[in-house]
């Protein structure tokens, strides 16, 4: 539906879109802080991983790369390379966004669900959205972060780890 006052120039401004899905999970281990969405959360647990273990950033990185048809996080940042040990996952996301741009794609919107019994995300959500938006090159309103529990079921429900699912929408503009 076209509303009064807005008439798109279809010949000049065509936008192609793609969606990518990312998933990541890590074990919770003693010792903090916990890094999620680029935010250090002061709890006595952290996520075990070759990098800083930020499962939110990892899931979004895979979603961005998938939407751009540009590989995956394991290909870009193999855990067999020492340079990736304790690597900042937000920096990894920035590199993935740059790779997507080399393929002509840029992030438009990201939605991520964090599945964990703890910690509660609400106090950290705004900071996570801001950190992720900065890495993605979008406004904070173009990033949505949701927290869900696993209702006490399975390894997540027992508090053994955290999983994340992300969807990234990328755009490619043809301003011909």
The boundaries of the domain holding residue 54 are: 14-174
Q: What mean pLDDT do residues 58-82 have? A: 94
Given a cut of 80, whether residue 160 has pLDDT beyond it is yes
Given a cut of 70, whether residue 117 has pLDDT beyond it is yes
| Domain-located, residue 6 | no
Q: Residue 174: what pLDDT?
A: 72
| Domain-located, residue 5 | no
| Domain-located, residue 2 | no
Q: Six-digit token pair at 147?
A: 């927290």
Question: Quick one: pLDDT band at residue 124, thresholds 50, 70, 90?
Answer: very high
- What is the average pLDDT value for the chain, to the nearest integer? 92
Q: What are the CB-based long-range contacts (under 8 Å, 24+) for 41-49? A: 41/119, 41/124, 43/118, 43/119, 45/118, 47/161, 47/162
Given a cut of 80, whether residue 57 has pLDDT beyond it is yes
Domain count, the chain: 1
Q: What mean pLDDT do residues 20-31 have? A: 96
**Number of other residues whose CB lies within 10 A of the CB of residue 120:** 12
Beta bridge partners of 115: 148, 163
| Domain-located, residue 8 | no
Given a cut of 60, whether residue 152 has pLDDT beyond it is yes
Cα angle, residue 115 at apex, residues 68 and 58 outer, rounded to 5°: 35
Q: Residue 43: what pLDDT?
A: 94
| Domain-located, residue 9 | no
Q: Which DSSP helix (H) or strand (E) runs through 163? A: strand 161-174
Given a cut of 70, whether residue 107 has pLDDT beyond it is yes
Question: Quick one: pLDDT band at residue 15, thresholds 50, 70, 90?
Answer: confident
Q: Residue 10: what pLDDT?
A: 53
* CATH number, residue 75: 3.30.1330.50
Q: Residue 165: what pLDDT?
A: 98
């Amino acid at each position: 539906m076209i509303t009064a006052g807005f008439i798109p120039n279809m010949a000049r401004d065509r936008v192609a879109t793609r969606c990518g899905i990312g998933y990541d999970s890590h074990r919770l281990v003693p010792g903090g802080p916990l890094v999620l969405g680029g935010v250090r959360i002061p709890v006595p647990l952290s996520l075990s991983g070759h990098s800083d273990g930020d499962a939110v950033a990892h899931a979004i990185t895979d979603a961005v790369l998938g939407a751009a048809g540009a590989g995956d996080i394991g290909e870009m940042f193999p855990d067999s390379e020492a340079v990736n040990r304790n690597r900042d996952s937000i920096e990894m996301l920035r590199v993935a966004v740059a790779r997507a741009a080399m393929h002509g794609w840029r992030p438009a919107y990201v939605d991520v669900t964090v599945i964990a019994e703890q910690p509660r995300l609400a106090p950290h959500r705004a900071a996570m959205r801001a950190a992720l938006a900065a890495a993605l090159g979008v406004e904070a309103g173009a990033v949505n972060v949701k927290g869900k529990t696993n209702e006490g079921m399975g390894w997540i429900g027992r508090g053994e780890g955290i999983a994340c699912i992300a969807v990234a929408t990328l755009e490619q503009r043809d301003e011909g």
